[in-house]
Amino acid sequence: MGGVDIEFSKEIKILGLTIDDKLTFNSHVAEVCKKALNIYKQLSRAAKVSWGLHPEVIRLIYTATEEPIIMYAASAWAPATKKLGIQKHLNAVQRGFAQKLTKAYRTVSLNSALLLAGILPLDIRIQEAAALYEARRGTDPEQSHGEGDVELVTAYAETPHPAEHMELEFINLVDQQQVEAHNCQAELLAICKATRVILDRQETSFGIFSDSRSALETIVNHNTRHPLATEARSNLSCCKSQNKTVNLFWIKAHAGLEGNEAADKLAKEAAKTLKRKPHYEQCPVSFVKQKIRMDSLAEWNRRYKSGTTASITKIFFPDAIDAYRTVRKIEINNVLTQVMTGHGGFSEYLNRFKCKESPSCTCDPQQVESIPHLLFDCPVYGFSRYELEQRAGVTLSAENAKHIIMNKEVRQAFLEYCINIANKVIARNK
């Protein structure tokens, strides 16, 4: 062109997304992982095993900076995360952060670190974000949520111009006297249907009573574009043009209000006995998000169980789904992480890395000093074990550890027992 040769480019960058000629997205992943690793290097100076930033601060940095950097434009390149090469890049970044979150040693496996940190593998998070993006746009070809159409927000072009917005408010009614004086989906649908009925009626004054404050607030807020709320506002605007007065009332639920109690009773009876096609089949995005998250956890659980690492962690958390619900309720520290990974100041681990001549326990030269032995079998700590069993009413064993962890009544006492023994062993092996 103009005597200048135009070379063919193998890559192009559009809005921060690097696209290569074969759509491998290798260059894009390498670039974002490099940015993420630079942040990790700065973080690692201020977060060590026994001192430094609190794990929750590290979690905030991870969720607010690392994930957004890596997951940018995830819906475009999510299929590439199924390749092992891409997964290795992502795992290299996430492993460091997971270890900092749990105050774990660098030798701890990715499986253990992710589970104790309570964060999903990055490739699964990217696929999850892409699936949610497609669901919100209504372009998911597989409809992974397994229900009807997704409830999509109303397009801006289909909403009234701000100058045409009518003033909407609702009145709070908190007792029966006030009700007599004025004689987030199912509730919205009910209010929306009420506005449809009002349009067909000849009367000029109406009242809509609801015990769902959130539904009423959704309707009166013109910035919300929920399809049912948009239709209700449109119907109310038409009612106004017909010189009809419509008042919205919020009444307190389960407060002995006669009309509200009757409505609840009829709704329960209809739900149990009525056999007919649903009035509204679109499922909310929140349900789709929950379904996608459950699918993500199922895939993570499959990987976790089939993996050859995290053998000690699996004693406490054999199931990743149960662990995801539980681990955030536990205050993880460096000692507890050593217990739940086996990577710490124990003879077996120290001998493995040539830091101690023998892996033997003090109770028996032939017995390896491992976490299962120390917590459940070692006679040196037999009295502490017996005392906890009597106080908590449980039997301490490797097979029973997962049930003890899930039991919120005895969990804290068991964790304190583990930390107490670990501190003694670590101090002895220094």
Burial class (CB in 10 A: 0-12, 13-18, 19+), 31: middle
Closest CA to 252 of 210, 294, 206, 306: 210
The whole-number pLDDT of residue 23 equals 92
Mean pLDDT score of the chain, rounded to an integer?
Answer: 88
Q: What is the pLDDT of residues 142-173, one digit of tens each?
A: 554 555 577 777 777 778 878 777 777 776 65
Number of neighbours of residue 417 by Cβ within 10 angstroms: 23
The whole-number pLDDT of residue 147 equals 53
| Alpha-carbon gap, residue 228 to 368, rounded angstroms | 65
Backbone angles phi, psi at 356, to 5 degrees: -150, 145
Query: Helix, strand or coil for residue 242?
Result: coil
The whole-number pLDDT of residue 226 equals 85
Q: Residue 263: which pLDDT band, with cuts at 50, 70 and 90?
A: confident
Number of neighbours of residue 122 by Cβ within 10 angstroms: 25
Query: Mean pLDDT across the stretch 316-343?
Result: 94
DSSP label at residue 293: H
Burial class (CB in 10 A: 0-12, 13-18, 19+), 125: buried
Q: What is the pLDDT of residues 5-21, one digit of tens each?
A: 988 889 999 999 999 99
Number of neighbours of residue 271 by Cβ within 10 angstroms: 9
The whole-number pLDDT of residue 183 equals 41
User: Domain limits of the chain?
Assistant: 11-137, 156-281, 344-429
Number of neighbours of residue 177 by Cβ within 10 angstroms: 8
Closest CA to 419 of 389, 381, 392: 381
Query: Mean pLDDT across the stretch 205-220?
Result: 88
The whole-number pLDDT of residue 177 equals 45
Q: Residue 104: which pLDDT band, with cuts at 50, 70 and 90?
A: very high
The whole-number pLDDT of residue 187 equals 85
Q: What is the pLDDT of residues 409-428, one digit of tens each?
A: 999 999 999 999 999 999 99
The whole-number pLDDT of residue 430 equals 86
Class of the domain covering 156-281: alpha beta
Query: Which has more pLDDT, 204 or 142?
Result: 204
Q: What is the pLDDT of residues 371-419, one digit of tens each?
A: 999 999 999 999 999 999 999 999 999 999 999 999 999 999 999 999 9
Confirm if 25 and 77 have CB atoms less than 8 A apart: yes
Distance of CA 179 to the CA centre of its chain: 41
Backbone angles phi, psi at 403, to 5 degrees: -75, -35
